[in-house]
Structure 1
């Protein structure tokens, strides 16, 4: 096979960038030229791994900002609403912003495509970018969120609802070449097999970072034999919600367990209780093998946790995270709670229950073993 030039165009969020990174790494190892078109806020993050970067961005008067944490600060009050209200208000606002962003970046993408001259484009986005789909170049839709929005199938739950039935409409066209969705085998809806429309399920896109992590000394001391080490990551949106992060860390301060906290740029300056340690950004793939349990908002951290054989307690905020949480419960592979309305006791008991569930731990360990064997790890 001739070596190809492959352009990745992920949405400007770490979950989407990381999913693309995992696939890009494999393609690069096969001799292909890999180029990323990324927002200027992420400048230099992928060059370190041998990828080329072409930057785009919104007009922000010269200031380089990571926009979505700021958006969450301004709109986090919607996350306490019911899913239908979040769809009507929060997600409408977010998707309207995504449409506007795509429109503003269209000429930048056109310029990048002209400069890179890719043989193939891989896009991970909720909203279609016509510059990509109409470029006359084969393109692949890599959908790293829960599959509900992408499939548009009335036999599965409506997207972003966390509910068990009905359907929803799609905001991105299917690629006539290839569509990829990120979904563990155990989450699969059996009645949808075999998939059509050029769909391929991939269980994980684990990226190689060569990052290391040592458990902080204060967390090496176990207050009891039952004390487990827990990683908490609420994603870019979640860690930007000061009220939520304050609530979670205050409640978890009562726990016998020890916690590594991904704080993000907004919560970074806030102090943590004695049974916790955290930083702004953490090497997630280096941490996951070291912990016993993961608490996640329901993003790509869930599939990465399963890859390393770690059970996940899902605390979904909005959108496809609700669908992931629902599927975790339906498959009995974890627990899902509303992070705003669960009681302190419910949250603490859920952690204790999962930490003590040796059968669940073994089931997830077996899933991780199978997934890693597929990657020859």
Structure 2
């Protein structure tokens, strides 16, 4: 097969970037050239995995600041706005969701000239974006455009599914109309301005009240067992991957302090962004310390401020895809990567949603019986300990999840995605 040049542009957060890393690694090992136009704070982290980097700034670089950690902007943003997460989701539309869209749009505007230069220099055969806003340079590159959706499937909207970002139940439509109306009121002026700018760059207009175009190929990372396929069927350009779990994580050796203890093994992570809420991390850790189980804790960017109990071990970064298979239970913020990885390995979840798609993932896990949704700021010890006890004791659930996990792994989403990108690139023309 002729070599393709594939340009990936993920959102500057670990979830989307790790998803692109997993797919890109398969393409790279097949002999294709894989280039990442990631945000500049990822410098060196992608070349270490064998990829080319041609990076972009999404805002003017801060003066007199040493090199930032990967995705540092969003870590700071989450830390500073964490009080908003205590509000009902409909109230967050104005004070949290809209500011996120504005920041994302500002990034797309700022990097447009640089991204045009990268495309001219790299000359990709296919461009792949895992983000939630359009980057017009990708849509005007003259080559196939692939969109990856690695939030949750409510992002592909429908009248018969709950509104995205709401966390509302599928079986109760009483709040849907009000939430959609408020979303429209808050976001329509932002969308109209962004749509006009996107058109000025020569890209097609955006779909109604959407901030990103559909692609020539659209890949979404969610297992069919939890999807809304019957209520919201998708068109022929959409392909579900079941999962997309990277194979680049380091191996994991069980720490002696946990290996020598009794109790179930539980993995706890609020993600690279959620763990920036140190107060919340400490609260969950204090509650888990009162149980007889063992915990592996992803401590995140402010790891130095987080002290673990005797029944715990953790670090700033952990090879999550090597740890979850060994866990009996996952306690998560409900980010799409961790949620779909728990499905991939057939593990029950306790979900403590903080923002964005996490409410919807938490609700879906809970309403399908695959785990328990708890309010991260209002749960009691009794609620958390009771959920742990119930999920660990539910042998029927554990068996069903193990079977679902086996089927999801057999679908091999990474290679599904790589195959689809290859087909699109080869069909579109002669690779450069």
1:204 aligned to 243, 268, 290, which one? 243
Match of 2:274 in 1: 238
1:160 to 132, 157, 165: 165
Matches within 5 A, 1:103-142: 103-142=109-148
How far the C-alpha of 1:170 sits from its partner, in A, is 2.3
1:135 offset after TM fit, Å? 2.5
d(CA) in 2 for partners of 1:362, 1:267? 35
CA distance in 2, matches of 1:302, 1:110: 34
Offset from partner CA, 1:248-305 (integer Å, 9 cap, x none): 1111111111111101111333211111111111111121122111111111111112
| Larger CA deviation: 2-11 vs 48-57 | 48-57
For the Cα contact (< 8 Å) 2:249–2:319, is it kept in 1?
no
For the 8 Å contact 1:178–1:198, the answer to whether it is kept is yes
Q: Distance in 2 between matches of 1:329 and 1:308?
A: 18
Instruction: Sort the Cα spacing of 1:243 and 1:170 in 2 relative to 1 into closer, same or farther, 3 A.
Output: same
* Greater relative CO (CA pairs within 8 A, separation 6+): 2
The alpha-carbon deviation at position 363 of structure 1 amounts to 1.1
Rounded to whole Å, the distance in 2 between the matches of 1:268 and 1:36 is 30
**1:33 shift after superposition:** 1.4
Deviations 1:67-100 (A, max 9, x none): 1111111110101111111222111112211111
For these two proteins, the number of residue pairs brought into alignment is 372
What runs of 5+ residues in structure 2 fail to find an aligned partner?
A: 184-208, 415-432
RMSD: 1.8
| Shift of residue 39, structure 1, vs aligned partner | 1.7
1:22 equivalent in structure 2? 22
Structure 1 contact 87–319 (Cα < 8 Å) conserved: no
Offset at residue 36 of structure 1 (A):
0.9
Give secondary structure in 1 for the equivalent of 2:301.
helix
CA-to-aligned-CA distance 1:222-259 (integer Å, 9 cap, x gap): 34xxx211111111221000111111111111111111
The answer to whether 1:170 aligns with 2:206 is no
Residue 334 (1) aligns with residue 371 (2): yes
1:50 aligned residue: 50
| TM-score (normalised: structure 1) | 0.94
Aligned-residue offset at 1:125: 0.8
Number of the residue aligned with 1:13: 13
Does structure 2 conserve the Cα–Cα contact (< 8 Å) formed by 1:109 and 1:131?
Answer: yes
The residue that corresponds to 2:427 in the other structure is none
Is 1:219 the counterpart of 2:258? The answer is yes
For 2:74 and 2:115, the matched residues in 1 are separated by 20
- Provide the C-alpha distance between the structure 2 equivalents of 1:91 and 1:255, rounded to a whole number of angstroms: 35
Give the drift of 1:8: 0.4
Q: In the aligned structure 1, how far is the partner of 2:315 from the partner of 2:113? A: 37
